Chains A and B, each alone.
Chain A
Amino acid sequence: MPRLALISNLGGCGRTSLVAHLASAFVERGRQVLAVEFDPANVLGLHLGLERSPEAGWVSPLLAGEAWTEAGLQNSEQIAFLPFGRLGGADLAALETALAQDEGWLARHLSDVPELDNALVLLDAPPLPSAFARQTLAAADFILVVLEADGRSLAQLPALETWLATLAPDQPYAVLVNRLDSSLPLERDFLAVLQYRLGHRCLPYPVHRDEAVRLSFACFVSLFEAHPQSQALHDLVGVAGWLEGQAALAGASRVTP
């Protein structure tokens, strides 16, 4: 099961939304998908159609040594997902220490998930430099870095580059610009600068800012069903197609040390 991690060093740039909609896009393309939330925010479920964040998730049973894969849910689009669940303060602290000691914690546990044929695992995490994000970095076969076409992204680009430099040299990744409002000249300029600075590492096609994304979130509906004409959807389908063409996401997951 190849794993795709969406990470960023910015908050609120659309990682969780992208995980949910990319999952839909892959399902549309006939691929099995498992979305794994590794973020105490516990909101991925809302993006996937739940009207309330679930209490139970996969982390607390795991910490308690129970059968944690039972926490998996499936939505009407046949997207399987593991919600993070609500975690008490003490548990969270325990988890954080565990993560700090063991970089491969997530990767190891993910290999325990029952095998789904050729399914793709999408990983959602809080922004870097949180320990959660570093775990997903270590667990991923392919990393999709999410940025925005704004000054924030540009200002933090050096920091991001530092993070990327810590990756294994053969670790494939790409940068995706989300929420582009191309009608604003400033955003177009930022996009051009980012593309220039990142070169071929930047996907040539960004995902546009589209109110349909927020509307579908607000109404607990799938972007594909409610807004088939939306540009964001079109962009996401393109991104999903591009990702499918990446060798790292074609076969089974890398063996984690």
Chain B
Amino acid sequence: MKRRGMAWVGRHLGVPADASLWLWLYRLFVLPRPAAPDQPQDAASRLQRSLAPLIHLRTRLGRGLIWLLGPVCRPIARLEPRLLPDPVALNARLERLARAPWLEWPLLRGGVFAVAAVVLWLAITTPFTGFEQVLFFLFTLSLALYVRRMPGNLPALLLIGLSVLVSLRYGWWRATQTLTLESPIEKALGWGLLLAEIYTWGILILGFIQTAWPLKRKPVPLPADVNQWPTVDIFVPTYNEPLAVVRPTVLAAKGLDWPAEKLRIYILDDGRREEFREFAAAAGVEYMTRPDNFHAKAGNLNHALPLTHGEFVAIFDCDHIPNRSFLQMTMGWFLQDQRCAMVQTPHHFFSADPFERNLGTFRRIPNEGALFYGLVQDGNDFWDATFFCGSCAILRRGPLMEVGGIAVETVTEDAHTALKLHRRGYSTAYINITQAAGLATESLSGHVGQRIRWARGMAQIFRIDNPFLGKGLTFFQRLCYSNAMLHFFYGIPRLVFLTAPLSFLFFELHIINAMASMIALYVLPHIVHSNIANARIQGPFRHTFWAEVYESVLAWYIALPTTIAFINPRLGKFNVTAKGGLVEESYFDWVISKPYLILVSINLLGFGIGIGRMFFWNTHEQGTVLLNLLWTFYNLLMLGAAVSVATEQRQVRLSHRVPARLPAMLRLKDGRALHCYTEDFSLHGLGLLLANDGIRPGDVLKVSLWRGPVEHVFPARVVVARGGNVGVHFEGLTLEQEAALIQCTFARADIWAAWNNEQDADHPLLGMKEIFMLGLEGYWKLAEHMGKGGRERWQRLSGRPATRQSRA
């Protein structure tokens, strides 16, 4: 066994088995020159030759794997604890070491940094042969796999370090070894690809910095003396949303746990609707309009600012229903830290966004926003760079007025306002406890519209008030803001990746000058390590590969707006996203998915050509063809997911149900009172878990819910009664009852606390399978809808009415 192992290593290092120890040592550092390859003879040998490195690699890797996983694995696993220290104990020791006082000595520090810099430089720039690169990868990989098992934040930093090292090594290699390109067109494309890659490395590293040490700030309790609590104005801006959407928000705001004489609620109605005025009067809140609609939401808020007087201003988008504890959770920090100008809480959505709905991942896989509100904001908070997100936040009036109110120069007024506050030296805070919840955007087009706005706004800020420039920001604040802005520029790089292999498959352009196997050997560690590091820091907030899915789907739409805003920040218009819509029948959004259908077509075509070049014609560089085929295949899966998202699933309910187990009581006509629990609630009814006890659909009854010890009773009618479930619909609620209902349900302090408990854990390999299935499903759905579309057209042609309303 041992001898065979030595022979294997020897063969690769170019050392005969019986060589002296010196030669062994020498060969560990210096490899013999590879023999010059002779010209390929015929197709068969050419094929063999070009595939050789890959086959070679594959057999080696395969054997390595078998060796790892095989029976030998078990004794090793048993031996491992004796050979390697226990990761948990080691981590404890490391953390103690990190806090050692002598680490603070400037000389020592400088020395350590200098040595680290030199080693890093060597590790990044030393060119390796393929085999050496494999060894290097195996080394970093085993280190990472071991460190991964250590708990705590320090090991996460180690993983980040490894990932950065490997990625920089790849970048260096790409920049120095692979750019000798021939024709001008190849040069252009090659450099384009490199730029796109540089962008992703930059974002990767910025992201690591941003989230290296999530602060996880806890709320500070308020003083017991209520007289010290400040006055608060709640702003609920609205423009064109229906009253039904705004009512719960206002009623919940009225129930906030705060002295009533210190709390004022304002509906800021840019739609100037009589209905809203009446509602405000009935609900006992203030109502405000303005003569114009300049600067949309920002202008609306700014109009109200000079007319109101609370020491603090909380802002809730009109569909974000606050929990009663919102002020209790957030105000403490203001009283403790006088420089604190803003406290933000997460945006939480209790309905599925189009990704979640159309891909069936609701509450199973962290959604697009989860990363930002779960991790990025906590990371920002560490660098005192928490962004204002426009809603579910509270600001100190003084500083806000000092920066001229809400910023109006860009379409993302919120981020820009926070930037201005930070420039003035104010700090901001993030409390990662959901304190409000709302409806997610209903349709993909709405979702895309919103993301376009964010992307445009960020591009605008980047141009108008670049966080790298100007005064007042710390270095890390600059980095955090830059990442927030730059990461919206992923559109073009992503499109580059989605089409890069095609230049080779279609036109035989070589845009990376390297052997396919070498590319694989450098790219693979980069991908694997960044995934290991990200899985560690982002695990619960973004599953492996999902960033690619989200970006791929949105890339096309945001590419143009960001570019235009980058060139001329003043072009374009603000758009308000529609909420509360209904998808009556599932349909395929042909309009929005057109670019993706084109991308799919050309990638499929490229894939076909690649298969041809693999086996039938021009078969002289199969290695490269294979690599490009794999790449195209991956792209096709991502595009499949994009297509899948464009298939709008039927959505029947206008009011979304929130799963929750709350005690409830039914009072029946016959005088009985039944105790039960809710399964879910919505604005319009309850799902109850209750062995059916003579209850029939249509029965009129009273339902009780509790808010703390206080019982509230609601008139209702039974709509479903089967098995262990009874569904009731509220009927004729008075305004008070409606308010009580909100208080008993959406506005409960802890109602969103357990939201993510049933989420799947992140398993990178399972995730890969899932993405694979998602991609395939996209094509399946596409085929289905193509069939349907064809049928419809046929029906229309033959004069029969279409079964489905087509939508533009």
Within 8 A of B (CB), among A206-250: 208-212, 215, 227, 229-234
In contact, B711 and A182 (Cβ under 8 angstroms): yes
A192's nearest neighbour on chain B, judged by CB, is: B710
In contact, B709 and A212 (Cβ under 8 angstroms): no
Report the count of interface residues on A (CB-CB < 8 A): 19
Given A183-B702, A210-B673, A211-B670; A229-B711 close (CB under 8 Å): no
- Among A182, A183, A205, A215, chain B packs the most CB atoms within 10 A around the CB of A183
Given B673, B690, B693, which contacts A208 in the complex, CB threshold below 8 Å? Answer: B673
* B residues near A230, Cβ cutoff 8 Å: 672-675
Q: How many whole Å from A101's CB to the nearest CB in chain B?
A: 44
In contact, A229 and B690 (Cβ under 8 angstroms): yes
Given B673, B676, B711, which contacts A212 in the complex, CB threshold below 8 Å? Answer: B673
In contact, B672 and A212 (Cβ under 8 angstroms): yes
User: CA–CA, A5 to B675, complex, Å?
Assistant: 27
The answer to whether A188 has its CB under 8 Å from any CB of chain B is: yes
Q: How many whole Å from A207's CB to the nearest CB in chain B?
A: 10
* B residues near A182, Cβ cutoff 8 Å: 665, 667, 704, 711, 713
In contact, A229 and B709 (Cβ under 8 angstroms): no
* A residues near B713, Cβ cutoff 8 Å: 182-183, 188
B701's nearest neighbour on chain A, judged by CB, is: A183
1/0 per residue, CB under 8 A from A, across B642-686: the answer is 000000000000000000000001010011111110000000000
The answer to whether B783 has its CB under 8 Å from any CB of chain A is: no
A212's nearest neighbour on chain B, judged by CB, is: B672
Q: How many whole Å from B708's CB to the nearest CB in chain A?
A: 9
The answer to whether A199 has its CB under 8 Å from any CB of chain B is: no
Given A188, A208, A215, which contacts B665 in the complex, CB threshold below 8 Å? Answer: A208
B704's nearest neighbour on chain A, judged by CB, is: A182
The answer to whether A151 has its CB under 8 Å from any CB of chain B is: no
Given A183-B702, A188-B711; A211-B671 close (CB under 8 Å): yes
In contact, B673 and A232 (Cβ under 8 angstroms): yes
In contact, B674 and A183 (Cβ under 8 angstroms): no
User: CA–CA, A209 to B670, complex, Å?
Assistant: 12
The answer to whether A204 has its CB under 8 Å from any CB of chain B is: yes
* B residues near A215, Cβ cutoff 8 Å: 672
Q: How many whole Å from B724's CB to the nearest CB in chain A?
A: 11
* A residues near B691, Cβ cutoff 8 Å: 229
In contact, A231 and B709 (Cβ under 8 angstroms): no
Given A205-B709, A211-B670; A229-B676 close (CB under 8 Å): yes
User: CA–CA, A215 to B665, complex, Å?
Assistant: 18
In contact, A211 and B711 (Cβ under 8 angstroms): no
B706's nearest neighbour on chain A, judged by CB, is: A205
A233's nearest neighbour on chain B, judged by CB, is: B675
In contact, B665 and A231 (Cβ under 8 angstroms): yes
User: CA–CA, A229 to B667, complex, Å?
Assistant: 12
User: CA–CA, A160 to B272, complex, Å?
Assistant: 57
- Among B675, B676, B690, B709, chain A packs the most CB atoms within 10 A around the CB of B675
Q: How many whole Å from B58's CB to the nearest CB in chain A?
A: 64
B670's nearest neighbour on chain A, judged by CB, is: A211
In contact, B709 and A209 (Cβ under 8 angstroms): no
In contact, A229 and B665 (Cβ under 8 angstroms): no
User: CA–CA, A188 to B702, complex, Å?
Assistant: 14
Given A183-B667, A204-B709, A208-B665; A229-B674 close (CB under 8 Å): yes
Q: How many whole Å from B339's CB to the nearest CB in chain A?
A: 42
User: CA–CA, A230 to B690, complex, Å?
Assistant: 11
- Among A181, A204, A212, A229, chain B packs the most CB atoms within 10 A around the CB of A229
Given A183-B667, A229-B690, A231-B665; A209-B673 close (CB under 8 Å): yes
A181's nearest neighbour on chain B, judged by CB, is: B667
* A residues near B665, Cβ cutoff 8 Å: 182, 208, 231
* B residues near A204, Cβ cutoff 8 Å: 709
In contact, A229 and B704 (Cβ under 8 angstroms): no
In contact, B693 and A229 (Cβ under 8 angstroms): yes
User: CA–CA, A208 to B672, complex, Å?
Assistant: 10
B692's nearest neighbour on chain A, judged by CB, is: A229
1/0 per residue, CB under 8 A from B, across A74-108: the answer is 00000000000000000000000000000000000
User: CA–CA, A211 to B713, complex, Å?
Assistant: 18
Q: How many whole Å from B660's CB to the nearest CB in chain A?
A: 18
User: CA–CA, A229 to B695, complex, Å?
Assistant: 13
B691's nearest neighbour on chain A, judged by CB, is: A229
* A residues near B676, Cβ cutoff 8 Å: 229
User: CA–CA, A188 to B713, complex, Å?
Assistant: 10
Within 8 A of B (CB), among A174-205: 181-183, 188, 204-205
Q: How many whole Å from A227's CB to the nearest CB in chain B?
A: 8
B663's nearest neighbour on chain A, judged by CB, is: A234
Q: How many whole Å from B60's CB to the nearest CB in chain A?
A: 67
* A residues near B674, Cβ cutoff 8 Å: 229-231
B690's nearest neighbour on chain A, judged by CB, is: A229
* B residues near A234, Cβ cutoff 8 Å: 675
* A residues near B673, Cβ cutoff 8 Å: 208-212, 230-232
User: CA–CA, A227 to B76, complex, Å?
Assistant: 62
Within 8 A of A (CB), among B702-756: 702, 704, 709, 711, 713
Given A183, A205, A210, which contacts B672 in the complex, CB threshold below 8 Å? Answer: A210
* B residues near A211, Cβ cutoff 8 Å: 670-673
* B residues near A212, Cβ cutoff 8 Å: 672-673
User: CA–CA, A182 to B690, complex, Å?
Assistant: 20
Q: How many whole Å from B703's CB to the nearest CB in chain A?
A: 10
In contact, A229 and B675 (Cβ under 8 angstroms): yes
User: CA–CA, A227 to B704, complex, Å?
Assistant: 19
Q: How many whole Å from A149's CB to the nearest CB in chain B?
A: 11
- Among B671, B672, B676, B704, chain A packs the most CB atoms within 10 A around the CB of B672
Q: How many whole Å from B678's CB to the nearest CB in chain A?
A: 14
Q: How many whole Å from B2's CB to the nearest CB in chain A?
A: 67
Q: How many whole Å from A87's CB to the nearest CB in chain B?
A: 34
User: CA–CA, A174 to B673, complex, Å?
Assistant: 24
Q: How many whole Å from A185's CB to the nearest CB in chain B?
A: 8
* B residues near A208, Cβ cutoff 8 Å: 665, 673
Q: How many whole Å from B668's CB to the nearest CB in chain A?
A: 8
* A residues near B711, Cβ cutoff 8 Å: 182, 188
* B residues near A181, Cβ cutoff 8 Å: 667
* B residues near A210, Cβ cutoff 8 Å: 671-673
Q: How many whole Å from B337's CB to the nearest CB in chain A?
A: 37
Query: 26 A-B residue contacts at CB 8 Å?
Result: A182-B665, A182-B667, A183-B667, A183-B702, A183-B704, A209-B673, A210-B671, A210-B672, A210-B673, A211-B671, A211-B672, A215-B672, A227-B672, A229-B675, A229-B676, A229-B690, A229-B691, A229-B693, A230-B672, A230-B673, A230-B674, A231-B665, A231-B673, A231-B674, A231-B675, A234-B675
- Which A residues form the contact surface with B (CB < 8 A)? 181-183, 188, 204-205, 208-212, 215, 227, 229-234
* Besides A212-B672, A230-B673, A230-B675, 20 new A-B residue pairs in contact (Cβ under 8 A), listed by A number: A182-B665, A182-B711, A183-B704, A183-B713, A188-B713, A208-B673, A210-B673, A211-B670, A211-B671, A212-B673, A215-B672, A229-B675, A229-B676, A229-B690, A229-B691, A231-B673, A231-B674, A231-B675, A232-B673, A234-B675
10 nearest A-B residue pairs (beta carbon): A211-B671, A231-B673, A234-B675, A210-B673, A231-B675, A204-B709, A183-B702, A211-B672, A208-B673, A229-B674
